[in-house]
């Protein structure tokens, strides 16, 4: 009887899930499998024939491609710094904007707005700010901070990318943290306050453990954003100066579309996918263990 009921549900499953699964397979699964095949070939992206070369592309990446390793180290540094700062700023804004204040909703909207702007447009806007805006302010005020060669030096260009990345996404994680903070039971906070607990103790022992699911989501998203940074990198620095700020995603793009080595580019993309997937899975597993079980 139970099997008959389950069989009768199949048409309903196909109607609701079938189209989504079809397009997901067509747009994601099939291209992913094709890219796995092309990573084992020498293909320029134009000819109809792709020469199978086995694991030669992967050997070349690990043994001869110093630029890819350099770009990977830059991406790791950029990800660590940006993830920590983005979540720290977003959480701080959420703590501030969950208090009673005038224009609270307006401030929330203002801080979220940078996330609405596309990465390419945002990069060009901030390129103008760093090159023209900061230089003008530096000339008028004489403040050294504004007179730095923000996009002309490796160290300052790195921090320029970090600043724009945090400015764009801090408002997004802020919204998630606000939703979590609103749902913290006020009774627990009041009880801790009556018992004489300080604000730091209440934050550390009550608030943070209760909103740990929000940290899980925000860290997962921010790690994914920072590892895959591309449009912002392309429009702001183009990987310069001298490839010092070239991300892995930009390296893959140049390899495939500028050098016309699609086989090598897809091999790099596959390695990148495995590493990002591994990092995000480990992060989710770690933060999930910290969550308070209801």
Please count the other Cβ atoms lying within 10 Å of the Cβ belonging to residue 279.
16
DSSP string computed for 59-94: HHHHHT-HHHHHHHHHHHHHHHHHHHHHHHHHHHHH
In this predicted structure, what is the pLDDT of residue 241? 86
**CB 222 within 8 Å of CB 86:** yes
- Tell the residue number behind the tokens 């909207």, with chain if given: 109
pLDDT tens for the chain, residues 1 to 294: 445 556 667 777 787 888 888 899 999 899 889 888 999 998 887 787 888 888 999 999 988 889 999 999 999 999 999 999 999 999 999 999 988 888 888 989 999 998 888 778 888 889 999 988 888 888 888 888 888 888 888 889 999 999 999 999 999 999 999 999 998 888 888 888 888 878 888 888 888 888 899 999 999 999 999 999 998 898 888 888 888 899 999 999 999 888 889 999 999 999 999 999 999 999 989 888 877 665
DSSP 8-state code for residue 49: -
In this predicted structure, what is the pLDDT of residue 170? 93
Please state the pTM of the whole predicted model: 0.88
**CB 202 within 8 Å of CB 192:** yes
**CB 209 within 8 Å of CB 292:** yes
Architecture in CATH of 66-290:
Orthogonal Bundle (1.10)
CA atoms within 13 A on the CB side of 30: 7
Q: CA 183, CA 172: separation in Å to the nearest integer? A: 18
């Amino acid at each position: 009887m139970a099997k008959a009921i389950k069989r009768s549900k199949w048409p309903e499953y196909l109607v609701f899930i079938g189209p989504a699964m079809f397009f997901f397979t067509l747009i994601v699964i099939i291209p992913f499998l094709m890219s796995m095949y092309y990573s084992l070939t020498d293909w320029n992206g134009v000819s109809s024939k792709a020469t199978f070369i086995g694991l030669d592309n992967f050997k070349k990446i690990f043994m001869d491609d110093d630029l890819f390793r350099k770009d990977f180290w830059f991406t790791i540094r950029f990800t660590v710094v940006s993830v920590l700062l983005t979540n720290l700023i977003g959480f701080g804004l959420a703590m501030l904007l969950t208090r009673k204040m005038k224009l609270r909703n307006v401030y929330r909207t203002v801080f979220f707005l940078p996330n609405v702007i596309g990465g390419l447009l945002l990069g060009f806007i901030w390129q103008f700010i760093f090159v023209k805006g900061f230089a003008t302010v530096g000339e008028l005020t004489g403040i050294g901070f504004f007179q730095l060669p923000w996009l002309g030096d490796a160290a300052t260009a790195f921090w320029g990318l970090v600043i724009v990345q945090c400015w764009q996404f801090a408002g997004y994680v802020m919204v998630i943290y606000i939703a979590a903070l609103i749902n913290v039971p006020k009774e627990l906070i009041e009880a801790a306050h009556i018992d004489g607990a300080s604000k730091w103790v209440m934050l550390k022992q009550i608030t943070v453990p209760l909103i740990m699911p929000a940290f899980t989501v925000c860290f997962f998203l921010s790690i994914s954003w920072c590892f895959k940074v591309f449009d912002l990198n392309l429009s702001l620095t183009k990987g310069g100066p001298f490839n010092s700020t070239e991300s892995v995603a930009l390296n893959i793009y140049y390899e495939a579309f500028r050098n016309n080595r699609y086989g090598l580019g897809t091999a790099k993309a596959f390695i990148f996918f495995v590493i990002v997937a591994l990092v995000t899975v480990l992060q989710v597993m770690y933060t999930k263990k910290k969550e308070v079980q209801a």
